[in-house]
Structures are given as C-alpha cells and as structure tokens.
C-alpha cells in the first residue's frame, strides 16, 4: 500500500496540511490510561507551525539542571491542581516557548503514554495562529528547535536498535547530535504515523532507556 505524502494534502500549503492533521486525529480512536486519584499527570504539545517556508514541529532542550536535565523534549509538564491535560499542556507551551494557543487551536490528542517513572503523559497537537513570537523560558529551556515535518517521514526515521537487555529500542535521529528516544521519541513517532500519515499506530509498549528516568 503506497504511503500518502503528508505534504500533498487536499488544499495547498500549511492550511491544507492542517486540514489533513485535524481529519486524521478526528478519525483516530485514542487510548486513555486509567489514572488513580494520586496519579502524576502531564501534558505536552506537538506544535505544528511554518518555519523558513515549510511546516515544522517544535522541540526544546531542557536546561542542564533539575528534572530531565539537558534532555530533548516537547514543550509541556506536570498538571497543576484541577487542570485538564489540554489546559496544562497549553499553559506549559506558553510558559516555556512564548506560544499562546487556545482550545480552538488544538487539533486533537494522541494516546496517553505511561512512563517508567510513573507519569501519564497526554500529547496535544496544536496548530497555533500566526505570526508566532518564540521566547524561551531561560529558567527551564536551554534552546528551541523547530524540526521539519518532512524529516519525520524520511526513510531512515525511525531506526531500531537493541538495548543492553535485548529489547528493541526506537530512535528518532532528527539532525546531527539529536537522537530522541521514548517517551518523547514515541510521541513523535505516533504523531508522524497518526496525524501526518493517517495510521493507527500504537506506541505504549516502546522501551524507555534508563537515562530518561532521571
């Protein structure tokens, strides 16, 4: 079965791509994780936006201190109080990157992902209004990294390796010096499969390297 090119949707340009992403997410039967009242929950944003003439998704590199120090990540974090995952994800997106988006700019959600450290992560796909003004939170974010969507669908992404315990390990090599593993790599892969290509790919069982639990 041929793969549909995500850059040739009905319509043209970024608007046509956004229509396809919304349609693919609307057709996707997302899975939620059962949560106890004391469960630790987080929301992250997969933010699609034009950069240098083509669609990109925004990643961040965390500062070299605190939780997940120096790791590649999607904008997002732990929920506050009674926030929903969507509310928390959008709040964190604004706090970490300066992108302010509302519910109308949310295209949909992917599967909840349960991390080995006990968090339930809800990925929220965001199509923010333009123009964007990116401004990183210097206390939390070392740098901002727009990644071309086309890179997510290249033939060498993802690649598979074996971890020291013999388990298959997903890697998302997105640029020189940027190889992303689960959980973030799993969310990027499902975003590619579901939102861009319209496939019902599941990622809950992907191996998480030990270093991602710090």
Asked if residue 24 has pLDDT above 80, the reply is yes
Arch. (CATH architecture) of 13-213: Alpha-Beta Complex (3.90)
Establish whether the linkage from the previous residue to 39 is cis, with ω within 30° of 0.
no
Predicted confidence at residue 130, as pLDDT, reads 83
Domain ranges of the chain: 13-213
Predicted confidence at residue 37, as pLDDT, reads 73
Asked if residue 7 has pLDDT above 80, the reply is no
CA distances from 194 to 4, 43, 113, 203 (A): 12, 18, 15, 11
Average pLDDT over residues 11-40: 87
Q: Does pTM surpass 0.85?
A: yes
Q: What 3-state DSSP class applies to 197?
A: coil
Average pLDDT in the chain:
91
Please state whether 13 falls in left (phi above 0), alpha (psi between -120 and 50) or beta.
left
Q: What 3-state DSSP class applies to 72?
A: strand
Predicted confidence at residue 185, as pLDDT, reads 98
Predicted confidence at residue 212, as pLDDT, reads 72
- The 3 state secondary structure assigned to 124-190 is EEECCCCCCCCCCCCCCEEEEEEEEHHHHCCCCCCEEEECCCCCEEEEEEEECCEEECCCHHHHHHH
């Amino acid at each position: 079965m041929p793969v549909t090119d995500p850059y040739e949707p009905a319509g043209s340009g970024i608007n046509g791509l956004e229509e396809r992403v919304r349609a693919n997410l609307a057709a996707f039967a997302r899975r939620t994780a059962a949560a106890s009242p004391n469960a630790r929950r987080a929301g992250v944003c997969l933010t699609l936006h034009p950069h240098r003439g083509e669609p990109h998704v925004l990643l961040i590199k965390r500062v070299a201190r605190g939780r997940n120090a120096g790791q590649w990540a999607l904008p997002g974090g732990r929920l506050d109080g009674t926030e929903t995952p969507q509310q928390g994800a959008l709040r964190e997106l604004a706090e970490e990157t300066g992108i302010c988006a509302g519910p109308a700019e949310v295209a949909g959600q992917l599967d909840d992902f349960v991390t080995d450290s006990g968090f339930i992560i809800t990925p929220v796909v965001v199509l923010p209004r333009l123009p964007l003004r990116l401004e990183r939170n210097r206390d939390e974010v070392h740098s901002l990294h727009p990644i071309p969507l086309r890179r997510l669908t290249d033939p060498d992404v993802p690649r598979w390796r074996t971890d020291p315990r013999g388990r298959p390990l997903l890697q998302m090599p997105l640029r020189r010096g940027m190889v992303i593993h689960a959980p973030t790599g799993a969310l990027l892969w499902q975003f590619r499969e579901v939102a861009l290509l319209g496939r019902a790919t599941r990622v809950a069982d992907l191996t998480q390297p030990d270093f991602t639990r710090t």
